[in-house]
Structure 1
């Protein structure tokens, strides 16, 4: 186990750290889902941006877990890939 993993494990005992980590985990999961969907569609960020009539930098930001995308933006993303947005609460 690396030092960073050991440090993370120790910090996970702190309730505030754990809470913040879990909040970020959701954002990273969304980014991962977006990237996987785009790759499954076989297109790059530039092509997706063209389909969405936006800039490649917008796609990069969406896929980097930065910002707070709206449902409308996520719907446009999904539709540009030929899919539809589906939200699940578990």
Structure 2
């Protein structure tokens, strides 16, 4: 399977989580924090963190926010109405 085909198999929500995790991981690396040290900050073992960063499974929003909090950040969700499409749906 090519990368392009693999990317199309993810839902928009999964793509958002993957993009967000990637940005957080880049921030961890910019700060020079090792996986082992960051796992300790998060209260988990390094292999658990490696599974998250390797996307062995798509992390939950709770896990993603835990990662962000370890960097001193937080995930914020925003609820907005859908734009009118001319239908009552």
Which consecutive residues of structure 2, in runs of 5 or more, have no partner in the other structure? Answer: 79-89
Residue 64 of structure 2 is matched in structure 1 by 74
Q: Residues 75 and 21 (structure 1 numbering): CA distance in 2 closer, same or farther, change over 3 Å?
A: closer
Is residue 31–residue 64 contact of structure 1 (8 Å, CA) maintained in 2?
no
CA RMSD of superposed structures (Å)? 2.9
Which consecutive residues of structure 1, in runs of 5 or more, have no partner in the other structure? Answer: 1-6
Q: Give the aligned length.
A: 73
Identify, as 1 or 2, the structure richer in helix.
1
Structure number with the bigger relative contact order (C-alpha 8 A, sep ≥ 6) is 2
The TM-score, its normalising length taken from structure 1, stands at: 0.61
The TM-score, its normalising length taken from structure 2, stands at: 0.62
Q: Residues 31 and 65 (structure 1 numbering): CA distance in 2 closer, same or farther, change over 3 Å?
A: farther
